[in-house]
Copies of this chain bind each other. A is one copy, B any other.
Amino acid sequence: MPAKGDHDARRRDVSEAVWRVVATAGFTGLTMRAVAAELGASTGLVTHYFPSKALLVRHALDLAAERTDERPLRTPEAPGLAALRAAVLDVAPVDGDAVAMNRVWVSSWDLALADAGFGAAQAARYTRWRAKLARHVADAQERGEIGAGDPADLAARVAAFTHGLVTQALFDPEAFGAARQERLVDGFLDSLRAGAPARDS
């Protein structure tokens, strides 16, 4: 019988394999066999940890949430617009880890839109994200960095832009390299300045 530590280490290996499979083959490609192949192990080992396809899928969704919540975030130099910029770039697929994270989330939307429970969890997640963005928007308005407007609507605009940038960059990584993504983010954020209180010039 393996020691507890071995068991936990093995479970982490299986988790890693699940993550890599979903990040490349999506939820459609997430099968016991694919995880076993990624791991170089038998499907029996995978079913030992995840006895059903539903549990395997559930684990992949949990991994997406955990990895997203625990990833290192940018430290903005200031609150307001700089913090908003950091929050957008924390989501944009500008490096390999962020690409994998986004691929898993975008792939999960098929499931989430069809399952009331998971769809509600996803909607709640996005509501929290928009609330966070709205706080940065309100800070930026207070600092005179962006124009007037309902912070919730402006946050929805930022969230929309960010999610859509993710989609385009995932489908066309050559046309949307990291440098262009940053340029697009900065162009978009500049457009929020429209109507900002005039400063003495």
Contacting residues, chain B, for A171 (C-beta < 8 A): 112-113, 119, 122-123, 126
Comparing A20-28, A37-45, A77-85, the segment that makes contact with chain B is: A20-28
8 Å CB contact of A106 from B110, B162, B170, B193: B110
Contact A26 B164 (CB under 8 A): no
**A129 — nearest CB in chain B belongs to which residue?**
B168
**Given A127-B172, A171-B113, do A188 and B157 touch, yes or no (CB 8 Å)?**
yes
Distance in angstroms between the alpha carbons of A161 and B154 in the assembled complex: 12
Residues of B within 8 A of A190 (CB): 194
Q: Establish whether residues A153 and B114, one from each chain, have CB atoms under 8 Å apart when the complex forms.
A: no
Task: Known A28-B111, A103-B113, A187-B149; judge A164-B175 contact (CB<8 A).
Answer: no
Residues in A140-179 with C-beta less than 8 Å from chain B: 149, 153-154, 156-157, 159-168, 170-172, 175-176
Asked if B113 and A110 make an inter-chain contact with CB atoms under 8 angstroms apart, the answer reads: no
* Assembly CA distance A175 to B131 (angstroms): 13
Starting from the known contacts A107-B109, A160-B164, 16 additional A-B residue pairs (CB-CB under 8 Å) come to A25-B114, A26-B113, A29-B114, A106-B109, A107-B114, A108-B110, A126-B171, A127-B172, A153-B184, A156-B168, A156-B184, A157-B187, A157-B188, A160-B188, A161-B161, A163-B168
